[in-house]
A and B are shown apart, each in its own frame.
Chain A
Amino acid sequence: MKLDSKIPKGSIADKWTQYRSSVSLVNPSNKRNLEIIVVGTGLAGASAASSLAELGYKVKAFCFQDSPRRAHSIAAQGGINAAKNYQNDGDSVYRLFYDTIKGGDYRSREANVHRLAEVSTSIIDQCVAQGVPFAREYGGTLSNRSFGGTQVQRTFYAAGQTGQQLLLGAYSGLERQVGLGNIKMYARHEMVEVVKIDGKAQGIIARNLITGELERHFAHAVLLCTGGYGNVFYLSTNAMGSNVTAAWKAHKAGAFFGNPCFTQIHPTCIPVSGHYQSKLTLMSESLRNDGRIWVPKIKDDSRNPNNIPEEDRDYYLERRYPAFGNLVPRDIASRAAKERCDAGFGVGPNKMAVYLDFKHNLMYKYGQSEASKLGIVNPDDDTLTRLGKAVVKEKYGNLFDMYKQITDEDPYEIPMRIYPAVHYTMGGLWVDYDLMTTIPGMYALGEANFSDHGANRLGASALMQGLADGYFVIPYTIGSYLSKEIHTKPISTDHEAFVAAEKFAADRISMLMEIQGTRSVESYHRELGLIMWNKCGMARNEKGLKEAIEEIKELRTNFYKNVRIPGSINEFNPELDKAGRVADFLELGELMCVDALEREESCGGHFREEHQTEDGEALRNDDTHMYVSAWEHKANCQWELNKEALNYENIKIQQRSYK
């Protein structure tokens, strides 16, 4: 199949403006007759649902959590980027566009990224209007900070809870439309099948997680805003319920999956402490504004880190990347941490951690500045520490508290110990410029699609993309499709396609329940995660990937023979919900390895050991691999590769350097 990305003609800076001025519209009275299903209520889903309902469409929104406010966007910490240039430090739409393309290691689509940078500024306006309490300066203006991979301050934030505040803003918009009767909300519902009629997406089968009943829902268009699939690794910073199921059902129904192997491993997470560990906790990238990363120069240095003198410390990011220092992009920071730990310089009980140290900036940056404000001349160390601590507390207090709660160590006193962990997936359902998948009428927004972050996402850009897609992109692009659907009358859910889709889902669920083997769902998930982490994680090679593919196949066969799901179908049964999700991860994991094997190059978060420079940096292969891998599911976990060539007309392609 030939992929048509539907990129509008014209210069990069005009594409979106021209598109918006010429895209077909749906008149208000027709909108009232058009129904849209939104699956997932995170930033992308909640913003899309509310914006579309405001326009007059009839919206049904679904989430598996007990309330739409709990979607995992809520946990995003550090901030949201926007090219406002409030700091007068040289930011612009072009620069945000450029940073994002470069940060993604030249594997994202120019036109989508430029549009993202363009609408970024409206997002901040929109959120402030909703009552999102961003951090402010004493003069009453909005405050900014830096994130990795940029040299400007364009990140807006609300302490370490930016995602929470943005999501609550979008959620309040959604709930307002629920109250007005324009959105019908289905919480504790999971999408388990796509309904296609004449090749178009016309609805979903959803499972009521309280009663176990399957429900049929019709729509003229279906939006998947279901987040990423990082939980395929079992341990990740995702929520326990985050899953690929809705996207995977769409994939198996004909939606291509783009760049599945592009996974983001976040450099600063709290290290694993034991085999019982259920998830990993992120320590925001914003901490790298003020935290310096180091390991001892001497192997197995058992001294308290505070007693290791400067000359015995290796600030390896500052050493290797003097231009960006501690603020290099995530993929680079993660690999550098792995490199030091693999070389034997790691710290902590398992030697699989590095220090993130705030002492220097706490005392000399903030302590000193506060002392100057107070007119204290020659302050002693205790004064500097006391004054600096108050500033650091205001900036990162909740993160420090969280760290202390988990590790029982006080980061104000002793450096944090951190290690990389799976955080985000750049890959996702392939979409065109309209955000439509290869199934007509089915869209993917936010982390669920592949389009904007290439092979590595920059910090504070996920929130930007989720809200851009929901507030400012889909309300326009959906018109291009729905304007042609105004004659489609609502289709009865007695239609044979609904009956067949429901039966298909019901049979699958019964089949899972009937296995009644000996192993828990959790044990399969954990085993899959280990295969993925060891062989398709921060570093990958041909041999490992080939082994992983075989191991995953075997594990999947075993799962269908031996899994044991307690309880019954028609009741609240979280183990059954989890079984369905793990079954899908067991297929996705294989595709990720297939994709990683096919991509004979290193780029962004995808590091193939066979392809690296002499100093261990990722070595792209632009001649052979400058494309998006869009995988088409054939049958029984057989895939066919389709390629979307990437053309860079506005940015000069370079070897990415942050040195």
Chain B
Amino acid sequence: MIKSMKINLKVWRQRNADSVGNFADYTVEASPDMSFLEMFDVLNEQLIENGREPVAFDHDCREGICGMCSMVINGRPHGPKRGVTTCQLHMRSFNDGDTISVEPWRANAFPVVKDLSVNRSAFDRIISAGGFISTNTGNAVDANTILIQKEIADEAFKAATCIGCGACVSACKNASAMLFVGAKVTQLSLLPQGKPEKESRVVAMVNQMDAEGFGACTNTGACFAECPKQIPLSVISTLNREYLSAKLSGK
């Protein structure tokens, strides 16, 4: 029942951030039920056996939620299937004999650490600049004191499902982080708890986003198309609206 597939890989190899990278060719025997990362496990096992260096790649939960995996597969972040991360992509989405190219996220703000692994700490710094509600532990009132309309809560939740993987940046020709920032701004500005500091938040986050070297948004929508959590493009309009209104109010 389990048939074997021969997969030809062109994998980006780069020693570290300062060195020049290039593609290396490999061949792997895969099974259609393997995940894409399990296919990489097989490749690495093979390389180690032959005394060669395995390919460094980021991964952790392998169930599509931690946001660590980050491969550009045949030119698309997280590969050909819509709405999934690299770890959830299975080899059944490819054909026996396929040649697949695999590269790291491409953006100046995400320098390569090694091979397919990049540094996304810029995202942490954006959150650190304002992606929170300033409440100290112990300050809270009873959770049902403030009622929140179900539709609002659901919309905030939808925006909050962003896993911070960075596929949006990698997909964008400008390496813009507007979908990522918009998602957090939308979540927090929709909720009553997030309203008091919504103006300072959006300004601080956008300033940090610019400082990190992410590009501007030119509304091509590639970010949404590649987002494994399908964060809607409307979060970018929300971001723009919130930013404009904060600026108009003098923040």
**Chain A residues at the B interface, C-beta cutoff of 8 Å:** 47, 50-51, 54, 65-70, 72, 74-75, 84, 86, 122, 124-131, 133-142, 158-159, 161, 163-165, 168, 171-173, 175-176, 178-179, 185, 187, 210, 239-241, 273-274, 276-279, 281-282, 349, 401-402, 405-406, 408, 471-472, 475, 520, 522-523, 564, 566-567, 571-575
Do A141 and B144 touch (CB < 8 A)? yes
Please tell me which one of the listed residues A66, A84, A126 contacts residue B121 in the complex, with CB atoms under 8 A apart: A66
The answer to whether A187 and B124 touch across the interface, beta carbons within 8 angstroms, is yes
- Are A210 and B113 touching (Cβ within 8 A)? yes
A141 to B148, CA, bound (A): 7
**Contact present for B147 and A74 (CB under 8 Å):** no
Known: A128-B140, A274-B31, A274-B33. A75 touches B187 (CB 8 A): no
**A572 and B127 form a contact (CB under 8 A):** no
Minimum CB–CB distance from A91 to chain B (whole Å) comes to 14
Mark out the residues of chain B between 138 and 156 whose CB falls within 8 Å of any chain A CB in the assembled complex. 138-144, 146-150, 153-154, 156
- Using Cβ atoms and an 8 Å threshold, which residues of chain A touch B131? 172, 175
Supposing A158-B157, A564-B48, A567-B53 touch, asked if A402 and B68 sit within 8 A by C-beta, the answer is: no
Q: How far is the CB of A57 from chain B (nearest CB, A)?
A: 13
Range, interface on chain B? 35 or more
How close is A464's CB to chain B, nearest CB, in angstroms? 14
> Is the CB–CB distance between B129 and A129 below 8 Å?
no
Q: In the complex, are the beta carbons of A129 and B140 less than 8 A apart?
A: yes
Contact B120 A67 (CB under 8 A): yes
| B134 proximity list for chain A (CB < 8 A) | 176
CA of A279 to CA of B87, assembled, Å? 11
CB distance B143 to A51 under 8 Å?
Answer: no
Q: Which residue of B68, B153, B187 contacts A134 across the interface (Cβ within 8 Å)? A: B153
Task: Provide 5 A-B residue pairs closer than 8 Å at the C-beta atoms, listed in order of the A residue.
Answer: A131-B160, A136-B149, A164-B65, A187-B124, A523-B45
Q: Is B248 part of the contact surface with A, judged by Cβ < 8 Å?
A: no
A-B contact count (CB 8 A): 218
Residue pair A571, B137 in contact (C-beta under 8 Å): no
Which A residues are CB-close (under 8 A) to B65? Answer: 74-75, 161, 163-164
A175 touching B137, Cβ below 8 Å: no
**Cα of A122 to Cα of B143 in the assembled complex, Å:** 9
- B153's partner among A135, A168, A273, A471 (CB-CB below 8 A) is A135
Residues of A within 8 A of B66 (CB): 65, 70, 72, 74-75, 239
What's the Cα separation between A178 and B56 when bound, in Å?
A: 29
- Find chain A residues with CB under 8 A from B154 CB: 133, 136
Closest to A160 in B: B65
Contacting residues, chain B, for A86 (C-beta < 8 A) = 144
**B63 and A281 form a contact (CB under 8 A):** yes
A437 to chain B, nearest CB (A): 23
Asked if B114 CB lies within 8 Å of chain A CBs, one says yes
Contact B143 A84 (CB under 8 A): yes
Nearest-Cβ distance from residue B15 to partner chain A, whole angstroms:
8
**A178 to B, closest residue via Cβ:** B128
| A240–B62 CB distance below 8 A | yes
Q: Kindly state whether residue B41 has any CB partner on chain A within 8 Å.
A: yes
Query: Which of B16, B38, B193 touches A129 (beta carbons < 8 Å)?
Result: B193
**Known A70-B61, A137-B150, A142-B144; 5 more pairs at CB < 8 Å:** A66-B58, A67-B164, A129-B133, A475-B137, A575-B54
Contact between chains at B38 and A276 (CB < 8 Å) = yes
Q: Give CA–CA (A159, B34) in the complex, Å.
A: 27
Question: Given contacts A133-B160, A274-B33, are A349 and B137 in contact (CB under 8 A)?
Answer: no
| B174: Cβ under 8 A from any A Cβ | no
**Are B56 and A572 in touch, CB under 8 angstroms?**
yes
A163 to B63, CA, bound (A): 13
Give 7 nearest A-B pairs by CB, closest first. A140-B147, A172-B132, A129-B140, A125-B140, A133-B157, A179-B128, A175-B128
B92–A408 touching, CB < 8 Å: yes
Judge whether B193 and A69 touch: CB under 8 Å: no
Interface string of B225-239 (1 = CB under 8 A from A): 000000000000000
Q: Which residues of A contact B129 (CB under 8 A)?
A: 179
Q: Convert B102-125 into 0s and 1s, putting 1 for each residue whose CB lies closer than 8 angstroms to a CB of A.
A: 000000000001100101110110
B216 sits at the interface (CB 8 A): no
* B59 interfacial contact with A, CB 8 Å: yes
Report B14-37 CB contacts with A as 1/0, cut-off 8 Å.
011000000000000001011101
Residue B217 is within 8 A (CB to CB) of chain A in the complex:
no
Which residue of A is nearest B160, CB measured? A133
| Residues B90 and A405 in contact, CB atoms below 8 Å apart | yes
Q: How far is the CB of A417 from chain B (nearest CB, A)?
A: 13
Is there contact, CB below 8 Å, between A72 and B54?
Answer: no
Query: Would A276 and B41 count as touching, CB distance under 8 A?
Result: yes
Residues of B within 8 A of A282 (CB): 63
Alpha-carbon distance between A282 and B119 when the two chains are bound, in angstroms: 29
* Contact in complex: A133, B56 (CB < 8 Å): no
Query: In the complex the two chains form, is B45's CB within 8 Å of A129's CB?
Result: no
Across-interface contacts of A47 in B (CB, < 8 A):
137
The answer to whether B153 and A131 have CB atoms under 8 Å apart is no
**Interface contact B137-A54, CB-CB below 8 Å:** yes
Q: Which residues of A contact B193 (CB under 8 A)?
A: 128-131
Interface centre among B83, B113, B120, B157 (most CB of A within 10 A): B157
